[in-house]
Homo-oligomer: A and B are copies of this chain.
């Protein structure tokens, strides 16, 4: 195999930050990224980290024209289901376009995702969840081919969010006791 999957270190945060932006560009929302590599270092490598991250690294001979050897990542954290217990949520899974499909010893995305699944099982977690945009059919097909269920289609789950002013306003309504 011409790549390896390993746990990210603080030194990988610049690469992870670069790929977070690449993924946001692919998802047509690049202006949404507000997190710097310094914040990633702080939040992911503190005593009780807010996330965990795996990276895919290729041998020197395959480095990109810009000199990158860290070419994919999977960022995840632990969640909890009140029905089933400990779970994992995979926030991001990304492989640089030139390392998808045709790359020798291919399957970088599958390798990253299956390592997350392995960590999930080791930690007695019963579910691995994540979100995909409905127009992103290559990704939806990729995940479904591996056995993932689309809970929005099958059960009708919608994701809702409070942020910005709506979140501030809600927090201000909290009772004093």
Contacts and interface: CB of A to CB of B under 8 A. Distances in A.
Contact of A133 (B6, B117, B126, B155): B155
Copy count, this protein chain: 2
Interface residues of A, number: 84
A159 B129 contact: yes
Main SS class of interface, A: mixed
A61 interface: no
A166 B48 CA distance: 30
A151 B159 contact: yes
Contacts of A85: 34-35, 39, 43, 50
B165 A115 contact: no
A150 interface: yes
Interface in A139-165: 140, 143-144, 146-153, 155-163, 165
A148 B89 CA distance: 22
Interface stretch (A63-71, A74-82, A95-103): A74-82
Interface of A: 1, 4-6, 20, 23-24, 29, 32-35, 39-40, 43-44, 48, 50-51, 75, 77-86, 89, 91-92, 110-111, 113-115, 117-118, 120-121, 126-135, 140, 143-144, 146-153, 155-163, 165-175, 177
